[in-house]
Amino acid sequence: MKPFDYIRPATLAEAVTEAARPGSAYLAGGTNMLDLMKVGAAAPERLVDITRLPGLDAVEWLPDGGVRIGALVRNSDLAYDARFAASFPMVAEALLSGASAQLRNAATVGGNLMQRTRCAYFQDPASACNRRESGSGCDARDGENRMHAVLGFTEHCIAVHASDFCVPLVALGAEVEVESSDGKRTIPIDELHLLPGDTPQMETALRRGELITGVKLPAGAAAFSGHARYLKLRERTSYAFAVVSAAAALQIEDGRIAEARIALGGVAAKPWRAAEAEASLVGIEPSQPAFARAGEIALASAHPSGANAFKIELARRIVTRVLTRALEGTPERMPALPGSPFAARPDKTSGVAHV
């Protein structure tokens, strides 16, 4: 590991000032950054430890019914917050389907948003990776790429974003609060992560030194709480990154879909909001054919980036499946295998999950 300076600022102002210096990186839970440093995929000159900064570790309920989640809230603490899980169940389900219990106890909300791709070529300094070193090439294009993107990629980068948490946040229209020495601003989460284009090294819309301080979910997002699910297909149900995943939420009025939200994970360099698929469901009676059509629409522009054409069909089917589960209703208790296709289904009469 490359030697680095370690700084533990006492205030937010001190933290953003230090982080604005070239070669700096923030350190929170460290579940991603430290691994990258160990393998040489990241080599910051200084780490700015924000874990002791005050005021960033609380879940704050807003007067309008929305919620603000501090960037240092631990993933497990948020998922097991009873009020939060009842109001935003598919977010809690996504959190509990990510990583292992030990990692969830350490990982933070802000760090989850900022995690880097798990592409093996990005994590191997001996491989060419435009995301890690601009202009070096992309060894994934002709390498092992079955887990890579089927939407929004370019010849410069075919990596996918790994977060589970971000997928339902995108579906629900969350906002990300950031702060720097220039002041505060808010970024819609759908604009936080960038598609590769010609500049895959630019992964987010954050400017140098900017620190995520919190995530806000609008009050209207809680209106989906009765019909909201997250589903994650992975090669190992115990814990693994998604091959494909999806979040879906429905508002049902008089037997018809009044509003729908759909987002996909594991298919692009950012969580993928399927707005046209959502629009196709509004005003109609929910049905399997309608859900299957929504899956087709969501993946209409998808194409393989390598040996991964199978992911397109999987993604279509997972959209259909997660919409079906959302229609059945949110379980009163979290399934024993959150986010898994193998989780127990809720009793349609009582709404209680048998676990």
Q: Give residue 345's pLDDT.
A: 74
> Quick one: tokens of 96?
């509990």
Helices (H), the chain: 12-19, 33-39, 75-79, 82-87, 89-96, 101-106, 109-113, 166-171, 275-281, 288-298, 310-328
Answer whether residue 352 shows pLDDT above 70.
no
* DSSP run (H or E) holding 141: none
What rounded mean pLDDT belongs to the chain? 95
Q: Given 3-state DSSP classes, what are the helix, strand and coil percentages for the chain, each rounded to the nearest 5?
A: 30, 20, 50
Pairing of strands 228-233, 183-188: unpaired
Give the CATH superfamily of 225-328: CO dehydrogenase flavoprotein, C-terminal domain (3.30.390.50)
Which of 142-151, 172-181, 237-246, 298-307 has the weakest average pLDDT? Answer: 237-246
> Quick one: tokens of 12?
């937010």
Mean pLDDT within 246-260? 98
Task: Quick: pLDDT tens for 124-167.
Answer: 999 999 999 999 999 999 999 999 999 999 999 999 999 999 99
Answer whether residue 238 shows pLDDT above 90.
no
Mean pLDDT within 315-341? 95
Confidence at 237, pLDDT banded by 50, 70, 90:
confident
Q: Give residue 182's pLDDT.
A: 94
Q: Give residue 344's pLDDT.
A: 76
Instruction: Render the burial of 172-198: b for 16+ CB within 10 Å, e for the rest.
Output: bbbbbbbbbeeeeeebebbebbbbbee
CB 249 within 8 A of CB 326: yes
* DSSP run (H or E) holding 223: none
Q: Give residue 353's pLDDT.
A: 37
CB 43 within 8 A of CB 60: no
Pairing of strands 244-253, 211-217: unpaired
Type of residue at 34: L
Phi-psi region of 284 (alpha: psi -120 to 50; beta: other; left: phi over 0): beta
Task: Quick: pLDDT tens for 8-61.
Answer: 999 999 999 999 999 999 999 999 999 999 999 999 999 999 999 999 999 999
Task: Kindly state the percentage of the chain with pLDDT values over 70.
Answer: 97
Answer whether residue 248 shows pLDDT above 50.
yes
Mean pLDDT within 303-308? 98
Q: Give residue 226's pLDDT.
A: 97
What's the CA angle centered on 345, arms 261 and 222, to 5 degrees?
A: 35
Type of residue at 251: Q
DSSP 211: E
CB half-sphere exposure, 273, CA atoms < 13 A: 18
| Predicted TM-score of the model (pTM) | 0.95
Q: Give residue 347's pLDDT.
A: 57
Pairing of strands 24-27, 46-49: parallel
